[in-house]
């Protein structure tokens, strides 16, 4: 998919979700909350499939021996799965309000926030103080990092 088609697909499903959400909140329709969240789940499925295709291509070609790109894509899949878990728990909570405590609903939210915080922190640390990894240590003259070039 090109960037424009991905953006158009994303906006379409987000607008559709918002329209269904507003209709449900205004009680114009009395659909189940699971039906309201279908556009978000379709979008999440598309994201998981596209990331999985990238991972499979990456495994087939074996371009990155350090595995950072593979780890990053696996992290993205995990975040999308956390998002789906959050959506399911929210649907269960609002559909069957008495069956689940609200504190149980937000557990995946806190786990996702911790994971994103750790990822952002590690990204900032890598950008502020880059160093040679094991693949570029052997040929540090080709390393793009400034600290690696000043040995």
Confirm whether 106 is domain-assigned.
yes
DSSP-H helix ranges across the chain: 3-25, 33-36, 38-61, 68-95, 102-105, 107-128, 134-137, 146-149
CA distance 58 to 72: 12
Which tens digit of pLDDT belongs to each residue from 78-111?
Answer: 888 889 999 999 998 888 877 778 888 888 889 8
Which is more confidently placed, 64 or 117? 117
User: What is the extent of the structural domain holding 43?
Assistant: 3-129+142-149
The confidence score (pLDDT) of residue 130 equals 64
pTM over 0.75: no
- Name every residue whose Cβ is closer than 8 Å to that of residue 95 and which is 6 or more positions away in sequence: 32, 33, 34
Work out the average pLDDT over 14-19: 96
Confirm whether 20 is domain-assigned.
yes
Confirm whether 135 is domain-assigned.
no
CA distance 25 to 117: 32
Confirm whether 93 is domain-assigned.
yes
Q: Which long-range contacts (CB under 8 A, 24 or more apart) does 2-10 make?
A: 9/43, 9/46, 10/43
Report the domain count for the chain: 1
Confirm whether 134 is domain-assigned.
no
The confidence score (pLDDT) of residue 151 equals 40
Confirm whether 34 is domain-assigned.
yes
């Amino acid at each position: 998919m090109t960037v424009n088609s991905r953006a158009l697909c994303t906006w379409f499903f987000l607008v559709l979700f918002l329209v269904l959400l507003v209709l449900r909140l205004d009680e114009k329709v009395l659909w189940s909350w699971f039906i309201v969240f279908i556009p978000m789940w379709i979008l999440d499925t598309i994201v998981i499939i596209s990331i999985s295709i990238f991972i499979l291509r990456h495994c087939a070609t074996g371009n990155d021996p350090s595995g950072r790109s593979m780890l990053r894509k696996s992290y993205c899949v995990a975040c999308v799965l956390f998002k789906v878990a959050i959506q399911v728990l929210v649907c269960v909570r609002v559909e069957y309000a008495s069956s689940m405590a609200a504190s149980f609903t937000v557990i995946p939210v806190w786990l996702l926030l911790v994971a994103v915080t750790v990822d952002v922190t590690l990204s900032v640390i890598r950008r502020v103080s880059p160093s040679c990894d094991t693949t570029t240590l052997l040929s540090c003259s080709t390393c793009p990092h400034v600290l690696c070039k000043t040995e």
